[in-house]
Structure 1
């Protein structure tokens, strides 16, 4: 009887440790050389210091609910590590017409130097314009205008050949990288696997420490 109780206690203790253990960082390899160019392009929007030693690449869809949920997490990670971390955005329009229009609006916002305010406004109001049951893409410019976007100028900028080229290249790179869901993260070329907030924080912290920052 005592041995049975001892085994039960041991099993309970092990289960408790497993569910409360801190996130560990898997020894994931960086992307292979043939994918490195597809991972990050020179034109990709950057949040944070351009010369930060740690780069989080986020495959991002502005209509994605999980991307909206992770945005404050990513901002908190950047704030925690200061100048050591930057975020590169790769567009991943998995949610159809609304995603594509929102991306073009973001590129117009970049031309007008209001990229982050417009991104935050679009994410904040995402439930209005990106409802998966009844998308309302016509609201996107209206929402962006509240964050400082010049809508009249944006209508022309959204159709610029450079913007179309960015969308087309990012779509191709999504296929090359095998991205199937958003957000998908890479930290200094290392894929986040398994996916999770704690795992992302741990992977970034490891890369920051390795950089000596």
Structure 2
């Protein structure tokens, strides 16, 4: 009964998200959002993402595989959902500083690969996050200046507001051309992306 209740609740949450996403379509992608893939891609995956989220880490390799399969047709837009609060914010600070240096993807991969080292209880998250990023090539002095400027706070305020407006409550939450992924299943994401790639190709 417990698992049935959880399943029904998840379905309800997804229905609510789908309805709110239609109403809040303008809140899906913002000019400040990190983008992986061509800007003119026919298909846009929006991921509400928390770097401290284990499920986001598990999903990431499958997401990269899907992007590599459709390198010209698909782009990924990342929206931050700092559900682990300060732990998430520290990692997002580093990611945004890395983006300012043109090292977003390599730093993202490094933080997710080393997630257990900084996201577990008892770790020193600030020091470990910065150490991992530095090993990935981040200029720490420049990054510290960038974070101190407050630029990341502006991004986070907007992303959190959009997350709430759309009704996102868990990470990762995906939308493909505005269509919400119905479950946290990499195969379903791939199939939905492929469907949208084929559909968009027919209507061009």
Same fold (TM over 0.5): yes
Residue 194 of structure 2 corresponds to 205
Task: Determine which of 52, 65, 69 is the counterpart of 1:63.
Answer: 52
1:120 counterpart = 2:105: no
Verify the 8 A CA contact 1:52 1:83 in the aligned structure 2. Answer: yes
Residue 8 of structure 1 corresponds to none
Aligned partners of 2:168, 2:101: CA distance in 1, in Å?
A: 30
* Number of equivalences: 184
1:79 counterpart = 2:65: no
Cα displacement (A) at 1:161: 2.8
1:174 counterpart = 2:158: no
Verify the 8 A CA contact 1:78 1:85 in the aligned structure 2. Answer: yes
1:44 counterpart = 2:33: yes
Aligned partners of 1:150, 1:187: CA distance in 2, in Å?
A: 34
Verify the 8 A CA contact 1:38 1:173 in the aligned structure 2. Answer: yes
Task: Determine which of 153, 158, 161 is the counterpart of 2:147.
Answer: 158
Residue 134 of structure 1 corresponds to 122
* TM-score, normalised by the number of residues in structure 1: 0.82
Residue 173 of structure 2 corresponds to 184
Structure 1 unaligned spans of 5+: 1-27
Q: Could you list the per-position Cα deviations for residues 36-80 of structure 1 after superposition, in whole angstroms to 9, with x for gaps in the alignment?
A: 121111110001111111000000000111101111101000111
Classify the secondary structure of the residue corresponding to 1:89.
Answer: strand
- Cα RMSD for the two superposed structures: 1.6
Verify the 8 A CA contact 2:110 2:132 in the aligned structure 1. Answer: yes
Cα displacement (A) at 1:153: 1.1
Q: Could you list the per-position Cα deviations for residues 89-140 of structure 1 after superposition, in whole angstroms to 9, with x for gaps in the alignment?
A: 0001111211101001111001111111111110010000011x33421211
Residue 21 of structure 1 corresponds to none
Query: Residue 114 and residue 148 in structure 1: after superposition, are their counterparts in 2 closer, same or farther (change >3 A)?
Result: same
Aligned partners of 1:159, 1:167: CA distance in 2, in Å?
A: 14
Cα displacement (A) at 1:160: 2.1
* TM-score, normalised by the number of residues in structure 2: 0.86
Cα displacement (A) at 1:82: 2.0
Verify the 8 A CA contact 1:30 1:188 in the aligned structure 2. Answer: no
Larger Rg, first or second structure (1 or 2):
1
